[in-house]
Amino acid sequence: MKDAFKKLTIVMPAYNEQDTIREIVDRVLGVEVGLEKELVIVDDFSKDKTREILAALGDPRIKVVLHPENRGKGAALRTGFAEATGDIVLIQDADLEYDPREYPALLAPILDGRADVVYGSRFLSGPHRVLLFWHSVGNRMLTTFCNMLSNLNLTDMETCYKVFKKSILSRIQLKSDRFGFEPEVTLKVAALRCRIYEVPISYAGRDYTEGKKIGWKDGIAAFYHMLRYKFFK
């Protein structure tokens, strides 16, 4: 089954990540997955030196797309998906919270024919940095509510690490501009009755002083988006 997949596209939205962007790019390009790789980086109108760093990368495996205004993570992902030429598409944040060395485990259920979509769960096992209690409670509440609407049994709907067959993404029309992408794409792959797998991943989370961007307002918005995409198609 692996021979059916030739190329992996990693889509990386970036916004004000000057302190981490160079290192995460090196990590992504350095991991071996047994497939050709391309990295599509979508800069969502960064106001620090992220764009200058991206302009100096100069690697033929990297495609950089610059948004002319800040539009949000969901919009950046849509842009990246449109540029992807791989058979499999994987989402990677531009910070250092998620480790590209997890790629082989994330890809395995698709490569061996078991899955159409794979989520990397921070809550199944795996080492993780101990951080904010209420943030983890919020994640679990959102996942539970999404499971109720989608009839899935995910443990981590809000994870960054989501991997898709490109053929699945081509069947989904995504609309969310910000962090509503996570529940939206989950409900839509569930509606397609995709074979979804979870694999445990490690997690080195940031706190807000270190640049974490998602906040409680995004959590409230996620509940709205779940109702919107479930009942008002």
pLDDT tens figures, 135-169: 778 888 999 999 999 999 999 999 999 999 999 99
> What tens digit of pLDDT does each residue of 41-93 get?
999 999 999 999 999 999 999 999 999 999 999 999 999 999 999 999 999 99
The pTM assigned to this predicted structure is 0.90
Tell me the pLDDT of the chain averaged across its residues.
91
What is the H or E stretch that residue 120 is in? strand 117-121
Domain ranges of the chain: 2-231
Question: Any idea which fold 2-231 has?
Answer: Spore Coat Polysaccharide Biosynthesis Protein SpsA; Chain A (3.90.550)
| Amino acid in the structure at residue 103 | Y
For residue 1, pLDDT over 70 is answered with no
Give 143's Cβ-side CA count (13 Å radius).
Answer: 17
Q: What percent of the chain stands above pLDDT 90?
A: 76
pLDDT mean over 23-37? 98
Per residue in 47-57, pLDDT (tens digit) is 999 999 999 99
Strands of the 7-14 sheet, one edge to the other = 62-66, 36-43, 7-14, 88-91, 162-165, 117-121, 196-200
